[in-house]
Structure 1
């Protein structure tokens, strides 16, 4: 008897019991359900929530794989085992088995914990509330490992995932009812609960934290440092990375955020499959450019001088903000979340523009937290329903005016 048949039999056997959602989830995740409707209107379509989630995961896989190579590359570069990349995206110094294996063994546990704990909470709530297990966490489970530092302790990640799923989603009613992006809720919890593990110059390079502890214990070793570009700019330090390094992703940072090139390709894939909103992506970029240009003009006018702690980030060319930090990743994969984003087409323009605008604003004026896209998206998640409300009310008023003109 096949696995599909066994799962179907188990689903039927435990139908009506507390464990029914668990068996049903496994069956429908792996196979197409045997159940069909027998009356009423039928709409046949190839897409459903599971396929939509899997499509988004496919768009993120290149970032995940690149992140594995980059984790090993940053480690080997920091300890002096290899030279920096000099020959472009397909450089032989980067795409090595050693780099990949270092990253693989560090990142896979993060993925396992993210999915294991998150889906465990989903299953628990499905059993308690006696409803079907929802597929919404499939994307969140992949997003979480991509937006955290490489050396984040697994127990911290587990606690954050529990918090994010319960407080960020389940208390609102589950998938489709939440007002905040669950993945960003998880990252926000980590940042405010364990700030030393989400910032600084140690957590972004594999082994840097362990090396620091060994040195503190008396070991005669060289320290490993891996400050992010935004962290360095916030402290007024010189940047040692080229524009090419920033765009291609050969820089320290969260696992999935470094390669703007692959993020753009993932965004184009989401637009092509009509899952990601191009309006939100484009308007977010326009908002960031607008804020960046304003800051550049402030510096050019001499209002801010080099003595100011804001000078380094304000004087950064506006387009650099698009290729450093987590801006691109956040805009493509999290700002476009169809549940927490604005639903109206006009509303998406306002929603995205303010995400980009506020992201750069936070970067510049909060040196302790130079990455602002997370807070910007969460803030606009809260305002998205309000934006849609006023857009809809505006449309209603325009229609009423047209109606009055016709009847006059």
Structure 2
């Protein structure tokens, strides 16, 4: 590492204002600060230095996402083997298949998003921010595995430019960039983002996996519920076996490959909470809102809305609810920032997710829209909380003066 540090010190003058490569100063600065902690300090004022800077925060979130990513790779291969009617499931072959299937999507998301951020940083002559380190991995995790790469690139570019950069970059975006990417894909290309085949990888890769026929159903549990037309409601896997709550908890079901495993998501939640990165108030209130609305829907269940027959616990296990509660709703940029506001914000996300999922048969999942709606209301929630605190203190001041 000392040799690398010496090399960077040697070439650094080329990127200074008078250097021959000064136009790429922000690019060099981005790579240097990614490898080493900056040693620059402020020149005035009183400052408290904290070892937990934005780069470390982003890296910890990426580490928290690793269980979801690794399990998603396995489940991608497992669902392909399952749909092909395989009798054996070799672990390493399945992992290799999942890795080769998932890798291009991660590469495309990072290449497009980071490419735009590098260009914008150069244009503005600013430092390159670290926000896309997390966004770049979130985007493929929440999209169907069969999403065409060019669609992923277009949606990522749209979100980074119009949701993030036009507002000023990292820390200024109103909506969660990854969720907007998912929304652009869903509403712009609905045929490629829904149905019973987009959540299962259908092609063999490098001699691994199976080329699946057109005549197979890979509908997610929520997709099966949305298309339920009467009779006994049974959720089945790709081989026709009943999906248990344990299967849903482990994540051995079709779905966006990073969202299926509640167990992997809980491991990530422990990492985020232990490091103090994410708000436990938001996580707790999202779960409480989901359980409350799930219970209400179940008590008043009707065949018109088959999702209402799910138990409150199953509402949390299926779809992207758990992933949204841990990784999406807790985004510190777009979530509420006051402590009281975080409770209301999270409760709103949980309740809205179940309402959309249960009472809109044309849209089987509600977590994405619930978080985006709550993002829009987060500033208003914080404003109301602050005004209530101001009014309460003014009352105490008047009472003490009397």
- Calculate the TM-score normalised by the size of structure 1: 0.90
Alignment partner of 1:49 is 2:41 = no
Corresponding residue number in structure 2 for 1:340 = 334
Q: Distance in 2 between matches of 1:221 and 1:134?
A: 44
For 1:115-154, list aligned pairs within 5 A.
Answer: 115-154=110-149
Report if the CA contact (8 A) 1:228-1:252 is conserved. yes
Equivalent residue in structure 2 for 1:230, among 222, 228, 233: 222
Equivalent residue in structure 2 for 1:350, among 331, 340, 344: 344
Report if the CA contact (8 A) 2:202-2:212 is conserved. no
Report if the CA contact (8 A) 2:67-2:267 is conserved. no
When residues 31 and 327 of structure 1 are mapped into structure 2, their CA distance, relative to the original with a 3 A threshold, is same
For 1:162-241, list aligned pairs within 5 A.
Answer: 162-207=157-202, 221=213, 223-236=215-228, 238-240=234-236, 241=243
Shift of residue 47 of structure 1?
Answer: 0.5
Q: Distance in 2 between matches of 1:24 and 1:160?
A: 28
Shift of residue 3 of structure 1?
Answer: 2.6
Question: What value does the CA root-mean-square deviation take over the aligned residues?
Answer: 1.9
When residues 252 and 208 of structure 1 are mapped into structure 2, their CA distance, relative to the original with a 3 A threshold, is farther
Report if the CA contact (8 A) 1:69-1:99 is conserved. yes
Stretches of structure 2 lacking an aligned partner (at least 5 in a row): 206-210, 237-242
Q: Distance in 2 between matches of 1:314 and 1:208?
A: 35
What do the CA deviations read for 1:152-184 (whole angstroms, capped 9, x no partner)? 111111111101111111111111111100000
Corresponding residue number in structure 1 for 2:240 = none
Shift of residue 62 of structure 1?
Answer: 0.7
Report if the CA contact (8 A) 1:288-1:359 is conserved. yes
- 2:300 alignment partner, SS class: helix
Corresponding residue number in structure 2 for 1:393 = 387
When residues 371 and 272 of structure 1 are mapped into structure 2, their CA distance, relative to the original with a 3 A threshold, is same
Corresponding residue number in structure 2 for 1:13 = 14
When residues 30 and 224 of structure 1 are mapped into structure 2, their CA distance, relative to the original with a 3 A threshold, is farther
The count of residues paired between Structure 1 and Structure 2 equals 382
When residues 47 and 101 of structure 1 are mapped into structure 2, their CA distance, relative to the original with a 3 A threshold, is same
When residues 209 and 335 of structure 1 are mapped into structure 2, their CA distance, relative to the original with a 3 A threshold, is farther
What do the CA deviations read for 1:246-279 (whole angstroms, capped 9, x no partner)? 0011101111101101101211211111111111
Shift of residue 238 of structure 1?
Answer: 2.4
Shift of residue 38 of structure 1?
Answer: 5.5
Report if the CA contact (8 A) 1:205-1:225 is conserved. no
Q: Distance in 2 between matches of 1:208 and 1:230?
A: 24
Corresponding residue number in structure 2 for 1:286 = 288
Corresponding residue number in structure 1 for 2:269 = 267
Q: Distance in 1 between matches of 2:60 and 2:214?
A: 44
**Mean Cα displacement is larger for which, 312-321 or 132-141?**
312-321
Corresponding residue number in structure 1 for 2:245 = 243
Q: Distance in 2 between matches of 1:280 and 1:205?
A: 32
Corresponding residue number in structure 1 for 2:85 = 80
Corresponding residue number in structure 2 for 1:2 = 3
